[in-house]
A = this chain, B = another copy of it.
Amino acid sequence: MKVVAVAFPGFTFNDLAGPMQAFMMLPGFSSQVVWHSRDAIDSDAGVSVQATEEFGSCWKDPDILFVPGNTVSLFKQLQDDRTLDCIAELGSRAKWITSVCNGSLLLGAAGLLQGYKAASYWYTCEHLGLFGAIPTDARYVIDRNRATGGGMTAGIDFGLAMVGQIAGEAVGRVAELSFEYAPAPPFGTGRPELADPATLAQTTEMLKHLMPVEQLEGVRARRLKMGKL
């Protein structure tokens, strides 16, 4: 089970961690962390990960292509056709095309979600429609060979669900117990509909600056013009 995980400077550390931790429960798990160069790649959480391959040298036919998300760093990648084209190329041969959080915007802009139901971070989900996806407000969505998680922490639910999907439910159940995945969110504010008005207002104000969704129309227009959508 060959997993190619794309990392980019500033990616959200936890977006990568949950899924990779789950994928490693798959029989024959083997992985590459891929970027344009074989460097240490800073995440957004004070930890750098090592890129093991470049896009040019990585597996051409991964079983799973995985893409994490982020805030400003993700929106920067959405302006970079070199990144989007590399993801599109990998996606053209990957058995599974997957993401967590707003990594689905990268898959979308790469042209990989047209006609597929897909999840994303709550703040960016509706915008998936710009790229021909069907925005779906769920913790994770598996539609044919596209599997997409919701915001960041959904990577664990997504990852365990993928283990169940690929290796069978019995393996998924063992993975969930071995991960001790019996969550207890300390504040109960993890979704807009659960949060009190002050928390929602403050978070939305913060995200408005970190996730410039008004740029997405331009990304769509550019990719359409290039014939990539």
Using Cβ atoms and an 8 Å threshold, which residues of chain B touch A154?
180, 183
Is B31 a contact of A47 with CB atoms below 8 Å? yes
Report the Cα distance A188→B157, complex, angstroms. Answer: 11
Chain A residues 97-145 with CB under 8 Å of chain B are: 101, 121-122, 139
Is A183 a contact of B206 with CB atoms below 8 Å? no
> Does A164 sit within 8 A of B, measured CB to CB?
yes
The total of chain A residues at the interface (CB under 8 A) is 71
Is A200 a contact of B172 with CB atoms below 8 Å? no
Contacts A/B (CB < 8 Å), 19 sampled? A13-B21, A14-B18, A14-B21, A17-B45, A17-B47, A23-B46, A47-B50, A48-B50, A121-B180, A152-B180, A154-B180, A170-B199, A170-B202, A174-B199, A174-B206, A176-B189, A177-B192, A181-B190, A182-B194
> Does A203 sit within 8 A of B, measured CB to CB?
yes
Tell me the smallest distance from the CB of A186 to a CB of chain B, in Å. Answer: 4
Is A157 a contact of B183 with CB atoms below 8 Å? yes
Is B185 a contact of A191 with CB atoms below 8 Å? no
Using Cβ atoms and an 8 Å threshold, which residues of chain B touch A181?
152-153, 183, 185, 190
Q: A14-B18, A17-B18, A189-B173 are in contact. Are A180 and B49 (CB under 8 A)?
A: no
Using Cβ atoms and an 8 Å threshold, which residues of chain B touch A186?
157, 160-161, 164, 172, 176
